Amino acid sequence: MTKLSLNVIPPPREPQVGSTPPSAVVLSEPMRRFKCNLKGCCCSGWDIPFRLEDFLRLNDHLQGAEKEDLTHGIKLILEGEPDEKTGQQILDSLKLDGVGEDRACRFLAPDKGCSVHARYGPTALPDLCVDFPAFGYKQEDGRVELFFDPVCPEVLEQLDETDEPLRLFTQPGFFGDEGLDLRVAHTEDTISGRIGKDKVALLALDRIRHSSVEAFATTGPENPVWRPLAALAHAFRRLRIGNEGVFEVVEPEDPQPFLVFLFECIGAHGADLLAATAFRYQRFVWSIDPKPLLVPALAENLQDWKPAFERWLEPQEELLRPLQARWLAHRFGTPMVKGRGDLREAADSIAHVYGTSLRFAAAYGAVLQRPVDRDIYKAALGTAEFFFRSLNLPRESLPWFSAR
Ligand code: SF4
């Protein structure tokens, strides 16, 4: 048996909220009203990684047997190799073993709410549990960006709350809302946009993202979402250091090359892998009952997707357009969160998710034998987001247009 000695030196921690307000916080406007559904979808299926300080804070709040049991079934994730002289190694994170077949968090109550949150409030929770589905990033001018991940079904519900074009919102300082302010206070990672290896100046970056969001405000029956998406893909493809200040979103004379790329995105992945993702994502699906989808016919319709696409999805284009336009504006509002910050790769990555969402939607419609409505599409969009979030696909396995 290997004996391990722990010398605990917790990092210094800023007070969680209220000390230094950020100069501003930028987020998608609908996310100001985000509320978790308290159904525990993100509290199972994985061993949640805690940082040491999260763990110590939790330990401070728990009482009696629960406190004593906290260290049972704990895994230490260590960083790098042990120091040659001292044998010491840095602790990256701690993982608490999940409970049962679906590896649920041990603090998940039978009603699927969080028992730590219910008893001790959000300040007792590990940061990750407070923050998800938001990811905070600091800009070099002190602004904080809060990006809400559409893997979460309530983010999709917020996007679907109206048909109005989505806008970005800038909040001066804190919100006065505990959930949002804790997420802002936890923000440590920085963010910037690049073209290749070169960093894009903040002013140009803001112009690019605002033009991108604006592009989806003009969709309508005569202007389906693929048109502004094609115009944006061309604008990102023209992007070079030197011309980043003139980011013009103009519809291409010939949309055919973009449409070829979009169809490559739709057909890019193996049906079995996609069907397995739908199975793993089911705990996040609340807009429809996911159980009837998880049948062998799903893989068949994902494989042979074109007939399903024509019958169950294409006639629904106008019904789905407002939601698709809002999701695309939400994603392009912070495009640099993908593609390791390269703007052209990030733009193509959004098209990858969009294409895959269409493939899931068509197959879901075919399995359910009904036209794809918004509730089916939300399930499809979330599954596509989850597919790219949970798999680290090699660059060469994906089609590229702007970043070709
Ligand atoms: S996935 Fe979203 S809605 Fe579901 S429990 Fe997590 S934060 Fe709440």
By the 10 Å C-beta count (0-12 exposed, 13-18 middle, 19+ buried), 136 is classed as: buried
What is the model's pLDDT at position 3?
52
- State in Å: Cα 36 to ligand 1 middle: 5
If you count DSSP H runs as helices and E runs as strands, how many of each does the chain have, helices first? Answer: 15, 9
What is the model's pLDDT at position 72?
80
165 closest CA partner among 206, 222, 205, 225: 225
Residues 290 and 389 in one domain: yes
356 closest CA partner among 387, 310, 325: 387
**Cα–Cα distance, 205 to 189 (Å, whole number):** 18
Residue whose CA lies nearest to ligand 1 atom number 7: 36
Six-digit token pair at 388? 């790219």
Residue whose CA lies nearest to ligand 1 atom number 8: 36
382 closest CA partner among 167, 219, 109, 158: 158
Q: 341 CB contacts (<8 Å, ≥6 apart)?
A: 191, 192, 193, 194
What is the model's pLDDT at position 73?
77
Residues 259 and 220 in one domain: yes
Q: Choose one of 129, 150, 185: the last residue of a domain.
A: 185
Residues 161 and 302 in one domain: no
Q: Which atom of ligand 1 is nearest to the CA of 40?
A: 5
What is the model's pLDDT at position 70?
82
3-state SS class at 108: strand
Does residue 18 form part of some domain? no
What is the model's pLDDT at position 261?
98
Does residue 11 form part of some domain? no
- State in Å: Cα 201 to ligand 1 middle: 35
**Cα–Cα distance, 181 to 131 (Å, whole number):** 10
DSSP code at position 220: B
Residues 227 and 79 in one domain: no
Does residue 17 form part of some domain? no
Residue 25 phi, psi (nearest 5): -125, 130
Q: How many domains does the chain have?
A: 2
Identify the H or E element spanning 53. Answer: helix 52-61
Residues 168 and 271 in one domain: no
- State in Å: Cα 37 to ligand 1 middle: 6
Q: Of the residues 107, 152, 282, which should be mutated to test ligand 1's pocket, given the most ligand atoms within 8 Å of the CB?
A: 152
Residues 205 and 162 in one domain: no
Residues 324 and 203 in one domain: yes
Q: Of the residues 115, 128, 131, 132, which should be mutated to test ligand 1's pocket, given the most ligand atoms within 8 Å of the CB?
A: 132
Neighbours of 401 (CB within 10 A): 21
Residues 174 and 319 in one domain: no
Identify the H or E element spanning 92. Answer: strand 90-96
Residues 175 and 234 in one domain: no
What is the model's pLDDT at position 13?
55
- State in Å: Cα 153 to ligand 1 middle: 7
Its pTM stands at: 0.91
Does residue 57 form part of some domain? yes
Q: Are 205 and 198 in contact (CB under 8 A)?
A: no
Residues 158 and 203 in one domain: no
Residues 180 and 326 in one domain: no
Six-digit token pair at 391? 């798999």
Q: What's the angle, vertex CA 238, arms to CA 235 and CA 241, rounded to 5?
A: 115
What is the model's pLDDT at position 87?
76
141 closest CA partner among 18, 22, 21: 22
Residues 100 and 46 in one domain: yes
Q: Choose one of 185, 215, 237: the last residue of a domain.
A: 185
Residue 151 phi, psi (nearest 5): -60, -35
Q: Are 339 and 403 in contact (CB under 8 A)?
A: yes
Tens place of pLDDT per residue across the chain (404 aa): 455 555 555 555 555 555 688 999 999 999 999 999 989 999 987 777 788 888 888 888 888 888 888 878 788 878 778 778 877 777 777 888 888 888 888 889 988 889 999 998 888 888 889 999 999 999 989 999 999 999 999 999 999 999 999 999 999 999 999 999 999 999 988 988 999 999 999 999 999 999 999 999 999 999 999 999 999 999 999 999 888 888 999 999 999 999 999 999 999 999 999 999 999 999 999 999 999 999 999 999 999 999 999 999 999 999 999 999 999 999 999 988 776 789 999 999 999 999 999 999 999 999 999 999 999 999 999 999 999 999 989 999 999 999 98
**Cα–Cα distance, 346 to 238 (Å, whole number):** 14
What is the model's pLDDT at position 11?
56
Q: Are 248 and 366 in contact (CB under 8 A)?
A: no
Does residue 145 form part of some domain? yes
Q: What is the DSSP string of 354-403?
A: HHHHHHHHHHHHHHHTS---HHHHHHHHHHHHHHHHH----GGGS--STT
What is the model's pLDDT at position 5?
54
Pocket (CB within 6 angstroms of ligand 1): 36-37, 39-42, 132-133, 152-154, 284
Q: Choose one of 130, 151, 185: the last residue of a domain.
A: 185
What is the model's pLDDT at position 274?
98
Please compute, for residue 360, the number of CA atoms within 13 A of its CA located in the half-sphere on the CB side. 31
Residue 376, domain extent: 196-397
Q: Which atom of ligand 1 is nearest to the CA of 36?
A: 8
